[in-house]
Amino acid sequence: MATTTRIQPRALVRASGGPRYAVALAVDALGTGLLRPFLLLYGVTVLGLSAPATGTAMTVGIVAGLVCMPAVGRWLDRGARSTVVAASMLVRVLGAALLAAAPAGHVWLFASAALFLGIGNQAWPTAHAALVATVAHGRERDTALAAARALRNAALGVGALLAAACLAGGATALRALAAATVLAYLLAAALAWSVHVRAQPADAASARDEGPAPRMTALLAANVVYVFCLNVPEIAIPLILVTRFHASPVWPAAVFVANTVLVVAFQVPVTVLMSRYSRRTTLVLSGVVLAASYLGFLAATSLGHGWGAPAVAGVSVVCTIGEIIYAGSATALVTTLAPAHVLGRALARFQLSTGFGLAVSPAIITALASHGPAALWGGLTAGTLLSASAVAAEKDHGSTVGHEHARTEEAT
């Protein structure tokens, strides 16, 4: 066990890329919060597209973003850092601009907008993690990644609230939101680029010494299941509350808001608290906590209508704790295991598993739910425990130097 890291605000900002980069993250997330929750609504109400066409275009955008990840990883491994972060924001500028300019009925313009937004949304997490891994090291890096997630969730929430307040304005207000998103992404990209963070590309000798990219097969496969927890508050819980308990829409909304507030408030403190354990152990623990919460949801569904909704809301707090532990350890573990010269490609592969899990989880969750609570929560519990076991059992392969580096950082 290692000594727990202490939270020092100035050091945390510096480890996160500096004040300008922190502002860039907040502005970018604010812009994303303005538009992303209402993208489907924009296609249907503003452009007059059918719901299937709109949903298909959004799915194609997500898939295209995943396809681009290997190229993003190679770009990062050539030393680029803040440039890739800025590029991921600029790509979304183009997407939001196409939305704002698209006439009604033009499905291809909407599809192009969704394509660019999808590419930017998938590229950003990898580029951001690589930048933080370049300016921060050891447990300071973990805390910086956690702080960025908390800041981003807060800004996303503010953006979503502003957008919700503007919905009464109809199509005109939604077009104004798209235009505001363009400006937010432009400002964020300029701020991110101005940081001028770049890594020194490894030469051939250093690459041979550090060894090849880690396979991380079990970790990547397990991550596909772990990320289901991110869609539980948005899909699984509302589904249960509305279809089984016929609860008021206030309950799912309250659970979602509570999830956001808890992440903002506790992502950094929990990550710091868990720094006394290895990252792999912490990731395994997150799976156990998530599985326990899924069993709690299963128990809650057996209660009557009077107690069911409050019980689900209470268990959702445990699920959020598991999500916080997972988010504070998963990416940090990848940055630790990967040698410097293949960090970008390792993070890109991890983002591929994350994006794939987020893409398939709505379909799997709804399919399981159609067979009843036991199938849904029992299936999630079994899958998560199996994933946690795979993470615990996986050995870190690689060269001696790379292996020793990984073990050293795991202990810090």
Given this model, what pLDDT does residue 402 score?
A: 41
- Dist CA 96 CA 183 (whole Å): 9
- Identify the pLDDT of residue 152: 93
Q: Residue 102 pLDDT more than 70?
A: yes
Q: How far apart are CA 241 and CA 310, in angstroms?
A: 10
- The residue written with tokens 């990550």 in the block is 271
Phi-psi region of 405 (alpha: psi -120 to 50; beta: other; left: phi over 0): alpha
pLDDT per position as a tens digit, 236-254: 999 888 888 888 888 888 9
Has residue 318 got a pLDDT over 60?
Answer: yes
Q: How far is CA 210 from the centre of its chain?
A: 29
* Of 306 and 198, more confident: 198
Q: Which has the minimum average pLDDT: 199-203, 249-253, 254-258, 387-391?
A: 199-203
Whether residue 228 contacts residue 382, with contact meaning beta carbons closer than 8 Å, is answered with no
Q: Over pLDDT 70: what percentage of the chain? A: 90
Whole-number pLDDT of residue 209 = 52
Does residue 407 register a pLDDT over 60? Answer: no
Mean of all residue pLDDT scores within the chain: 88
- Stretch 88-100: mean pLDDT, rounded? 94
The two three-digit tokens of residue 289, written as one number: 């906590």
Percentage of residues in the chain having pLDDT higher than 90: 59
Q: What's 232's DSSP letter?
A: I
Calculated CA dihedral for residues 174, 176, 182, 184, nearest 10 degrees: -100
Which residue pairs, CB below 8 angstroms and at least 24 apart, start in 311-317? 312/237, 312/240, 312/241, 312/245, 312/251, 312/255, 313/251, 313/254, 313/255, 313/258, 316/232, 316/233, 316/237, 316/255, 316/258, 316/259, 317/258, 317/262
Question: pLDDT tier at 71 (50, 70, 90 boundaries)?
Answer: very high
Taking 80 as the threshold, does the pLDDT of residue 197 lie above it? yes
Query: Is there a contact between 272 and 7 (Cβ–Cβ < 8 Å)?
Result: yes
Indicate if the pLDDT at residue 276 is higher than 50: yes
Q: How many whole angstroms separate alpha carbon 136 and alpha carbon 91? A: 26
What is the CA 357 to chain-centroid distance, rounded? 11
pLDDT tens string 321-366: 999 999 999 999 999 999 988 999 999 999 999 999 999 999 899 9
Cα separation of 392 and 335, whole Å?
17
Packed helices 343-369 and 305-337: angle between N→C axes, nearest 10 degrees:
160
- Residue 84, Cβ neighbours under 10 Å: how many? 24
Average pLDDT over residues 125-142: 93
- pLDDT tier at 202, thresholds 50, 70, 90: low
Interatomic CA distance for residues 99 and 315, integer angstroms: 39
List the single range of 9-23, 41-55, 307-321, 395-409 with lowest mean pLDDT. Answer: 395-409
Mean pLDDT of 354-380: 93
Q: Distance (Å, rounded) from C-alpha 212 to C-alpha 398?
A: 6
Write the CB contacts of 137 (distance below 8 Å, at least 6 apart in sequence): 409
